[in-house]
Amino acid sequence: MGATTRVEQANYGTWIRVGRLRAFGVASTLSGVGACLTFVSAWFALLLVPAALFGYIAIVLALTIWRLGPRGGDYRRRIHELIVAKASPERAGDGLDVGCGSGGLAVVLANAAPDGMTIGIDSWGKDWQYSREQCEHNARVEGVAGSTRFLRQSAASLEFDDASFDTVVSCLTFHEVRDVTDRTLAIGEALRVLRPGGRYAFVDLFADRGVFQSVERVREAIARAGAEVDEISRLDAHLNLPFPLNGAKVLGHAMLVVVTRRCGPGRPAGSHHS
């Protein structure tokens, strides 16, 4: 009998908080069980309403996790590849992924710009099941450990000098940044560390007025940082998002923004840095 070799696998996790799926699954099951008690009182039948509602949400969350993963179309990786393609890192140089999570986007960027150093930063808070060790593991498995580094930092105040990177990318980070009242300030911060002529490509829920108020505010933040918008488009203009990824509560409000830094380095107006 031949010995079996264990091949190390990358582990990127998912953008959906698994605890949320579990909570809705449990709530639906408990309501469903409660609804069976109609032999005690007909009023228990009312529990069918929350059972159906929580069950629907749990199904949407589970389908989303499946769609984002390799067996359901690998949309997480496809979105990362789109961002990196738009950032054109073939110009080489150093890259930064703001809010790198489990390192997926940083790995794609590092593969596209092998001569430079790619740095991924994240706050790795309790909200997410991502970690620095997970990023390092994934980079090692994907063969880019030597050209990547992962650091704990906040997107709201990056610990890099002005104009440190040739390429900056990020994916679904800014709507999560809670250490600034105006999330567009974090966009200015990402642009601060971009070299003149460098490109920044990012995806976030910019069409969601509850999060960013308006796409115009995003444009203003970019202009304040001395950069120029090359493209702002809906994510579904690039990727045919299937259900449930196309829903408003999933990626229906996601937009791709591509920016080139025109002028020299300097802190954006309104930045909280001293």
Ligand X SMILES: C[S@@+](CC[C@H](N)C(=O)[O-])C[C@H]1O[C@@H](n2cnc3c(N)ncnc32)[C@H](O)[C@@H]1O
Indicate the residue among 38 and 129 with the shorter CB distance to ligand X: 129
Instruction: Say if CB 58 and CB 32 are below 8 A apart.
Output: no
E-only strand ranges, 27-164:
95-98, 118-122, 148-152
Query: Could you check whether the bond before residue 268 is cis, i.e. omega within 30 degrees of 0?
Result: no
CB of 88 to ligand X, least distance (A): 19
- Number of Cβ atoms within 10 Å of the Cβ of 166: 21
CB of 40 to ligand X, least distance (A): 44
Indicate the residue among 14 and 260 with the shorter CB distance to ligand X: 14
Residue ranges binding ligand X (CB under 6 A): 15, 99-102, 104-105, 122-125, 128, 130, 154-156, 171-173, 176-177, 179
Indicate the residue among 44 and 128 with the shorter CB distance to ligand X: 128
CB of 229 to ligand X, least distance (A): 21
Indicate the residue among 52 and 77 with the shorter CB distance to ligand X: 77
Distance CA 79, CA 155 (A): 20
Dihedral sign computed on CA atoms, order 57, 235, 118, 218: negative
Indicate the residue among 94 and 176 with the shorter CB distance to ligand X: 176
Indicate the residue among 105 and 187 with the shorter CB distance to ligand X: 105
CB of 176 to ligand X, least distance (A): 4
CB of 130 to ligand X, least distance (A): 5
Query: Nearest residue by C-beta to ligand X?
Result: 101
Distance CA 169, CA 173 (A): 10
| Entry field: residues in the chain | 274
CB of 128 to ligand X, least distance (A): 4
What's the angle, vertex CA 166, arms to CA 203 and CA 96, rounded to 5? 50
What DSSP element (H or E) covers 203? strand 194-204
Q: CA-CA-CA-CA torsion for 144, 164, 134, 156, nearest 10 degrees?
A: -160
